[in-house]
Amino acid sequence: MNMIDIVLQLADGMMVTIMIFMLTLIFSLPLGLIVTTGRMSKNYLLQAVVKVYISIMRGTPLMLQLLVVYYGPYYLFGCKLSPEYRGIAVIIGFSINYAAYFAEIFRSGISSMPAGQYEAAKILGYNKFQTFIFIILPQVIKRILPAITNEVITLVKDTSLAFSIAYSEMFSGAKALAASEKSMLPFVVAAIFYYIFNFAVATVMELFEDKLSYYEI
């Protein structure tokens, strides 16, 4: 089996990996923002609940969280697990895990904003929502972009953990192929794939950073 055959064999898996990546970002970024709101809330109960959530998400392995999300409904509630649920569990597991990390990044960005920006907005008559959306958030995004890039790159590599609940993305395909062909080559292809994927991610993020470099904070 040559490289091209391996790439063709793994093509479907690659699409699945890219899909896990995209869907996780789509769900975890807004969710992270919501979690931050809870984390920074003046309601101590809500704050405490969110703190515990973040602490668990960061304190336990993502692989274990995936297993809990996937098998939990069966062991806890006796639900029958449909095959479709496997993919959903992967997205839920990744999203709630990454939301916790993103929430902390958002929080660091938001609390680094000088009080003067809020005060100026208040004096000019912006309401709280307008202040956050138009004045604070754009500046926060600029501040946290490098940290977000780090997380997104980690996510590309973490997608391989989906194999722990036997979800067939690219990496599980490569493993199976390596075993059946008794060859290292599928792993080489996998490595090249992740590398190119991350290179693209880094390039795109750099583009965003460049786009926001028109001003200094």
Contacting residues toward another protein, per CB under 8 A: 114, 116-117, 119-120, 122-126, 130, 134-135, 138-139, 142, 214-217
User: Smallest Cα–Cα separation from 62: which of 24, 109, 113?
Assistant: 24
Minimum CB distance to another protein, residue 162 (Å): 38
Q: d(Cα 88, Cα 167) in Å, to the nearest integer?
A: 10
Query: Cβ 207 to another protein, closest distance in Å?
Result: 18
By beta-carbon proximity to another protein, the closer residue of 75 and 214 is: 214
CB 182 → another protein: shortest distance, Å?
57
User: By C-beta, is 54 or 121 nearer to another protein?
Assistant: 121
User: For another protein, which is the closer residue by CB, 157 or 211?
Assistant: 211
Q: How far is the CB of 213 from another protein (least distance, A)?
A: 11
- Give 58 or 122: the residue with its C-beta nearer to another protein: 122
Least distance (Å) between residue 72 CB and another protein: 43
DSSP string, 168-208: --HHHHHHHHHHHHT-SHHHHHHHHHHHHHHHHHHHHHHHH
CB-wise, 17 or 131, nearer to another protein? 131
**3: which 2 tokens?**
């490289």
